[in-house]
């Protein structure tokens, strides 16, 4: 049966936890014996530049025994006006799964609608579910649990924040988002997360110290997301008090960890001292993109045979 992964909410709680367990298991062992995806082909269609998403998925595809095909839209007919639906129909007749990194979330939804094979959202302006999987994996590894964790997200309410909201509401984590007025997460995603049943708390605050207070995890991202540079006039001034530094970190629990999805603008949203400090798990978080990606590909492609 075909399954797509466009947001974290496409999977239920049990499926997410199973994926995380499988990713951690894969991390502890070598590449799966027998190359379970041998003979499969996976397309990567990226309209945005990428380091972690592209390289981690290409490595994951290789380690699972499959073959990757990288496509720049400017090198295929999609870049010359062919519709996403027509492209999806054709590519899904050649490949076993397609990973898309693009701008508007509606574009990946349209692609998934017409594709006969699983479609994975490698990033859109609204969601970053693959990053969300790696984030949850990292928290589970470092804290031994997810339910009841207190997570503080400091910064722009972007696609990463939206995926964190979905993960927190599903897995019953407390999530405090600190951002200036007007930079909140997607209102529909936020409303749904706040209405999810459970004892966890999800709040949007203005004071980053209040959000960081007694948190287990402090998370941040760049203040200006890729592709939004032309709309960023004055934005950095609005965020100058939302930097992850030693003073803010002192508000959290003594064993709190620091996370960032990368790339980082050092000296803006996070200082060198914190990013390279003993409480940072940022580069392990980046490494986990490989194992969470492998677990996701295995699940989607083994189910769609």
* Cβ neighbours around 278 below 10 Å, total: 8
| Average pLDDT value for the chain | 95
pLDDT higher at 76 or 177: 177
Provide the pLDDT confidence category of residue 303 given band limits of 50, 70 and 90.
Answer: confident
Encode 6-30: b = buried (16+ Cβ within 10 Å), e = exposed: bbbbbbeeeebbebbebbbebbeee
- Of residues 141, 187, 147, the one with CA closest to residue 167: 147
Classified as helix, coil or strand, 141 is helix
In CATH, which of 3.40.50.880, 3.30.1380.10, 3.40.50.1370, 3.20.20.110 is domain 132-283? 3.40.50.1370
Provide the pLDDT confidence category of residue 148 given band limits of 50, 70 and 90.
Answer: very high
| pLDDT, position 33 | 61
| pLDDT, position 75 | 86
Report, as an integer, the average pLDDT of 171-179: 98
Maximum mean pLDDT: which of 26-40, 72-86, 233-247, 278-292: 278-292
- Which fold does the domain 8-128+286-303 belong to in CATH? Rossmann fold (3.40.50)
| pLDDT, position 226 | 66
Domain ranges (residues) in the chain:
8-128+286-303, 132-283
Q: Do domains 8-128+286-303 and 132-283 have the same CATH topology?
A: yes
Provide the pLDDT confidence category of residue 80 given band limits of 50, 70 and 90.
Answer: confident
pLDDT at 173 over 70: yes
| pLDDT, position 82 | 93
Provide the pLDDT confidence category of residue 53 given band limits of 50, 70 and 90.
Answer: very high
Provide the pLDDT confidence category of residue 304 given band limits of 50, 70 and 90.
Answer: confident
| pLDDT, position 81 | 87
| pLDDT, position 83 | 92
pLDDT at 1 over 90: no
- In tens, the pLDDT along 122-136 reads 999 999 999 999 999
Residues known to be catalytic: 101, 128, 131, 221, 261, 289
| pLDDT, position 232 | 66
Rounded Cα–Cα distance for residues 175 and 268 (Å): 23
| pLDDT, position 229 | 61
pLDDT at 277 over 60: yes
* Cβ neighbours around 283 below 10 Å, total: 12
Report, as an integer, the average pLDDT of 66-70: 97
Residue spans of beta strands (DSSP E) within 111-232? 119-123, 150-154, 174-178, 202-205, 217-220
- Of residues 122, 75, 83, 79, the one with CA closest to residue 101: 122
Q: Which residues are paired to 69 by β-bridges?
A: 43
| pLDDT, position 199 | 85
Token pair of 167, please? 């993960």
pLDDT at 88 over 70: yes
Rounded Cα–Cα distance for residues 88 and 78 (Å): 10
pLDDT at 228 over 70: no
């Amino acid at each position: 049966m075909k399954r797509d992964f466009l947001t974290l909410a496409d999977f239920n709680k049990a499926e997410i936890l199973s994926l995380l367990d499988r990713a951690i298991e894969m991390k502890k062992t070598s590449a799966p014996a027998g190359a379970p995806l041998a003979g499969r082909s996976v397309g990567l269609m990226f309209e945005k530049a990428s380091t972690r998403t592209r390289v981690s998925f290409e490595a994951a595809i290789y380690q699972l025994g499959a073959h990757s095909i990288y496509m720049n839209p400017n090198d295929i007919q999609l870049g010359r006006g062919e519709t996403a639906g027509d492209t999806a129909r054709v590519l899904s007749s050649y490949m076993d799964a397609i990973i898309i990194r693009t701008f508007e979330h509606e574009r990946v939804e349209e692609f998934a609608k017409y594709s006969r094979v699983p479609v994975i959202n490698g990033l859109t302006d609204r969601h970053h579910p693959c990053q969300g999987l790696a984030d949850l994996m990292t928290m589970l590894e470092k804290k031994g649990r997810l339910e009841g964790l207190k997570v503080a997200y400091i910064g722009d309410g972007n696609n990463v924040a939206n995926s964190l909201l979905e993960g927190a509401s599903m897995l019953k984590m407390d999530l405090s988002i600190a951002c200036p007025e007007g930079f909140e997460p997607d209102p529909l995603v936020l409303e749904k997360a706040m209405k999810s049943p459970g004892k966890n708390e999800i709040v949007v605050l203005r004071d980053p110290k209040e959000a960081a207070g007694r948190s287990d995890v402090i998370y941040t991202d760049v203040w200006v997301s890729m592709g939004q540079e032309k709309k960023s006039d004055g934005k950095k001034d609005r965020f100058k008090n939302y930097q992850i530094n030693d003073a803010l970190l002192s508000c959290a629990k003594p064993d709190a960890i620091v996370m960032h999805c990368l790339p980082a603008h050092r000296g803006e949203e996070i200082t060198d001292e914190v990013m390279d400090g003993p409480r940072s798990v940022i580069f392990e978080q980046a490494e986990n993109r490989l194992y969470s990606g492998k677990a996701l590909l295995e699940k989607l492609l083994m189910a769609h045979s």
